[in-house]
Chain A
Amino acid sequence: MRTRALAVAALLAALAPFSWGYYYYTLLTNSGGVWTPIPARFDLNSSDSYGLLNNTVTYLISSQGPAALMPGDSFQAVISQIRAAANVWNSVNSSGIRLAFGGLSSMNPAGATPQIDVVFTDDMPPGLIAQTQVTTIQNPAPLIASGASFVPILNSTIQIRSDLTKPYPQPSWSDAFFLTVAHEFGHALGLQHTKTSSLMTTSLTRAVTKAQPLAADDVAGISLLYPANGFAAATGSISGTVSMGGNGVNLATVVALSTSGAAVSALTNPDGTYRIAGIPPGQYYVYTQPLPPALSGEAYPDNVKPPADLSGNVYAANTGFAGQFYGGTTDWTQAQQVTVTAAGSAGGINFNVAATNGPSVYDLVLYSYIGGNPGVPVQAPPLVQGTSAALEFYAWSTTTASGYMQLAPGLNISAIGGAAQVVPNSLAALPNGYPYLYNDVWLGSVASPTPVALAVTVNGDLYVLPAAFTVMPSGPVTITSVSGGTDGNGNATVTIAGSNLSANSRIVFDGSPATLISAGNGSLTVAAPPAVNGYKAAVEALNPDGQTSEQTLGSNPPPQFTYGGPSFPAAAINPAVLTPGTDQVLTVTGYSTDFVNGQVAAGFGTSDVIVKQLWVVSPQRLMLNVSTAAAAPAESTSVSIASGLQLETLASGLQVAPAAGTPMSLRTPILNQATNLAGVPVGGVALINTSGLPGNLAGWMLTIGGQTAQFTYNGSQILAVVPSGLVIGPQVVQLTSPGGSGPPPVAMQVDEAAPVIAAVSTAAGAQMSAAQTVGRGQIILLTVDGLADPLGNLPAPSDITVTIGGVSENPAQVIALSAIAAQLQVTVPATLAAGNTQVTVQVGTRISDPFTIGIQ
């Protein structure tokens, strides 16, 4: 275990105050009667004792994989699904933390840098599917006393059953396995449960899917815990008090429910105060309701660990009150709406609730049947617009003493908002003694997937289930056939046929993404992710509306694809020694490998070595800039190189050298001085941060790609001119002293010249300038030179970012005009102010000079 000193208080104290919302593992402090929640989270300040490198927490997967797998499943597939589940949290742009695959590990000993371990254990009693242990320091009082705004997480361990066949069959290809692991990663990062049908909601009422695994509440939760990219400025907050008989209600759930269905929540402090932060601007219903009582197997209401103060006093949840909407009503149509603006705060949203013995209804488990007749039961179902559907549901406190459902007098269910309506008088108990209620709903017309919340009222109590179902513009996605082959180099081309497939559908093979080649009449042809000869991958389609082809499978097995191509891939790495406290470049040479850009991840079996940049030079060659923690112990580490579903592992592939003095290092990424992006064209100026170098580099030589580069040095940064004649791509940068010593070499990206906006015109063809203005919301056409790669291929629209007045978008259309020029179609943002504004075009690390246009 970690033995670091606790001398981090001063650094932590300097951090920005924590923006509260959501719910975390919480310590409470009270100063002058004001409660301050202190969450546990990873420390993103790398200079702190428990700080992460590069805002990245490494997750290691135990090399002792599951002892038993479902038929057709494999450890490689499990690894792929775990990687996909971790990537869920990497998709949040407004979160400042990233998870990185650390490869397979023997798990002993832990690295010096905080990490997440994923282990498979026999030591998990029946009744548990997965659990996560979050480790913090035992006594955070000194930190809190010095003003720290959080308690650092030292590491987290996700435990998955070693036997994935019994007592709970858990095929890795199932959406349930993926969502369970993604949920546990949320715990590992510091998130607790919420009641918003999000990923961090317990599986009873979770409404997210593998295609759309995060809800607004999850985004708010992770973004408030690890703020980045202006999240607080782009969102607003609601605050107030929940009180009962003049006293505050502790751990009451308060939810801001958008009129379009999204929900963001918080729990109250012991004095009943709350603040929901991270709410997207819009109109909201706000309601409060108690946490559900602890169910069988739960130690606390909703298994939310209650907060404690520094003396160890635990502040348990009060679950004995009736829910209500803001406005003091259980009728959503009578509720007062609250307006949330960006960076705004709506205060005084108070509730005065009535005491009860506990919630009348909670954890409403709701199903419908989709995919034809009889269909497959799907929880929180997608329902097609313009139809009607039957909903079946089971609530934990609405059964008779004999276990059958009965309608409580006065029980009423309504759909909040206008996307759906409960058919009047359709609520009834299911016949034949099944312990479920059902009712019918009419689904209205929607332009986009619209989650619908249900409001249940009985006995003056209110229960709201956000995203009880979602009204979909189109029906479920299915796969009816999978066919294709693999060439001698291992490139597999696969055609997938089915229903509701489109170019926007994502196809995954055991969770690993395929690349779209073409979209035809009801079918897609994709380049499958790499895998070894004979590998069988489950194929799944994920649609942008959140529907997945697994939803309609029921108990049927998924469609599979069997790979041909090369067998027995292997890899070697050079150099084989890492210096603690430095960045350095490694080269991986593969044999029978198929390294594919965007599909490769490398891990080193320890959290003390992270990948900062990775280049796929060819299917058999990688270059990586890695950073090794100064406190990394001297030991041999494993190397894991994953490319899609291929995995090469070197058990002792690298040796961390003993730490010696203050090491010299060139710090990566190397930036373009002009753009601050990690790519520099020939003739451009590279900005290289350094550490441990002497104050004067007179007589030292810098080479880039083997060519001498002119440079200046100010004691901490090197400014170097990138020599001409270099090939586009990664190039090795080496600094050498007159005596031949120097820091380890690193790599930098040498770019093509930046694109140039040659002209901008209106859709009608009028050339634009500062004088020639255009209206907001209108289409403009950009003529841009230098977008294509050296082979003349234009980037996909999704890889091009056009920024107009600070608002970024992808072009709707990209048309080649010549070998040099291309035309981009974009829309002037409606939010811009009148006057001159600047337009830039960016592809990867290349960004154009600004072009000025006038806005009417």
Chain B
Amino acid sequence: MLAAAGLGATTLEQLSLDQMIRQSTAIVHVKVSSASAALRGRNIYTFYQLQTIETLKGAAAAEVAVPGGSTAMIRQEVAGAPVLAAGGEYVIFLWSGSSGLPQVIGLSQGLFKVAPDSSGNPVLVRAALSGVNVVNKSGQAQTPAAVTITLAALKDEIRKAMGAK
């Protein structure tokens, strides 16, 4: 039928979980230790230092670069660029191009905050993972906020996606 529509912004294209698993160069479960901004060419990136808890795909990463930020003299705004919290625990789908700069895949799409659920199991939280929200049978809109997946379920998805390669 109809082709998938692109998301705007900063012009984005929505990625499925399977696409993110396949197209990422690494998937890491990390804690953010610190952040600093630096110029790279003419662009500012905010570099978040990472403490690796577990590497789910590829190699561990010491940092992730997010476009935008502030140096001593200038500030750069990039609509849609995520902000990571120091001390925050995340699963990040990383992508490194030919320059080797590790970035979050799809600007924010590959960034999941990790938090324990009511049973204490780690779950990945991010708004609208599947890109759709639901109405229940009575037509009431459900909260269009977080979609969650357990870390264990994500590992299963990664295994399946990589196994089917």
Question: Interface of A with B (CB < 8 Å)?
Answer: 1-3, 25, 40, 107-108, 110, 117, 122-138, 154-155, 157, 167-168, 176, 180, 183-184, 187, 192-193, 201-204, 206, 293-300, 303-305, 356-360, 365, 367, 377, 379, 392, 394, 396-401, 403, 406, 408-411, 430, 434, 436, 458-459, 461
Contact = CB atoms under 8 A, between A and B. Distances in A.
10 contacts: A123-B98, A125-B110, A137-B74, A138-B74, A154-B74, A203-B7, A294-B108, A396-B132, A397-B133, A459-B141
Contacts of B44: 133, 135
A401 B132 CA distance: 9
A776 B124 CA distance: 70
B117 interface: no
A192 B10 contact: no
B73 A1 contact: yes
Contacts of A304: 79
A157 B19 CA distance: 28
B22 to A, nearest CB: 9
B135 A2 contact: no
A124 B107 CA distance: 9
Contact of B142 (A25, A203, A357): A357
A126 B15 contact: yes
B13 to A, nearest CB: 6
Contacts of A134: 76-78
B152 interface: no
B164 interface: no
A137 B141 contact: no
A461 B97 CA distance: 44
B3, B5, B9, B13 — which one has the most chain A CB atoms within 10 A of its CB? Answer: B9
Contacts of A133: 43-44, 67-68, 76-78
Contacts of A411: 139
B9 A131 contact: yes
Contact of B79 (A3, A132, A410): A132
The interface residues of chain A, by DSSP majority, are classed as loop
A124 B65 CA distance: 11
Contacts of B3: 377
Interface stretch (B28-36, B49-57, B80-88): B80-88
A318 B82 CA distance: 19
Contacts of A136: 74-77
User: Which of B110, B126, B133 counts the most chain A CB atoms within 10 A?
Assistant: B133
B2 A377 contact: yes
B116 to A, nearest CB: 23
A353 to B, nearest CB: 15
A127 B79 contact: no
B133 A396 contact: yes
A127 B106 contact: yes
A1 B74 contact: yes
Interface residues of B, number: 69
Nearest to B99: A123
| Residue among B43, B98, B99 with max Cβ neighbours from chain A (10 Å) | B43
Contacts of A125: 95, 97, 103-107, 110
B65 to A, nearest CB: 9
Contacts of A367: 2
Interface of B: 1-3, 5-15, 19-20, 23, 39, 41-44, 67-68, 70-83, 95, 97-99, 101, 103-110, 126-135, 138-145
A299 B81 contact: yes
A204 B8 contact: yes
Nearest to B141: A360
Contact of B75 (A128, A135, A168, A377): A135
A390 B131 CA distance: 25
Contact of B42 (A1, A25, A305, A434): A1
Contacts of B110: 125, 127
Contacts of B126: 296
A138 B73 contact: yes
- The 3 A-B residue pairs with the shortest CB-CB distance in the complex, in nearest-first order: A202-B8, A127-B106, A408-B139
A295 B1 contact: no
Nearest to B1: A434
A134 B43 CA distance: 10
B134 to A, nearest CB: 5
Contacts of A409: 138-139
Given A133-B68, A135-B76, A297 B5 contact: no
Contacts of A107: 41-42
Contacts of B77: 25, 40, 133-136, 305
A296 B15 contact: yes
Contacts of B41: 107-108
Given A126-B15, A293-B145, A434-B1, A202 B73 contact: no
Contact of A128 (B1, B12, B74, B145): B12
A321 to B, nearest CB: 12
A108 B11 CA distance: 26
Given A128-B12, A129-B6, A296-B128, A358 B145 contact: yes
A127 B107 contact: yes
Contact of A458 (B6, B72, B139): B139
A299 B80 contact: yes
Contact of A129 (B12, B39, B131): B12
A459 B136 CA distance: 12
Contact of B131 (A128, A203, A295): A295
B5 A398 contact: no
Given A125-B97, A126-B23, A459-B141, A295 B14 contact: yes
Contacts of B76: 133-136
Contact of A303 (B75, B80, B142): B80
Contacts of A401: 134
A298 B9 contact: yes
Nearest to A163: B97
Contact of A305 (B8, B79, B95, B144): B79
Given A137-B74, A296-B131, A357-B144, A122 B79 contact: no
A397 B141 contact: yes
Nearest to A402: B134
In this complex, which of B8, B73, B128 has the most chain A Cβ atoms within 10 angstroms of its Cβ?
A: B8
A410 B142 CA distance: 16
Nearest to B138: A409
Given A123-B99, A298-B108, A396-B133, A203 B79 contact: no
A250 B5 CA distance: 29
Contacts of A408: 135, 139
Nearest to B17: A296
Contacts of A203: 5-8, 11
A193 B1 CA distance: 28
B141 A357 contact: yes
A296 B129 contact: yes
A43 to B, nearest CB: 15
Contacts of B6: 129, 168, 176, 203-204
Contacts of B20: 126-127
Contacts of A399: 132-135
B71 to A, nearest CB: 7
B80 A298 contact: yes
A654 to B, nearest CB: 22
A180 B11 contact: yes
Contacts of B71: 138
Contact of B107 (A135, A297, A394, A459): A297
A136 B98 CA distance: 28
Contacts of B80: 131, 297-300, 303, 305
B143 A397 contact: no
Contacts of B133: 293, 358, 396-397, 399
A123 B11 contact: no
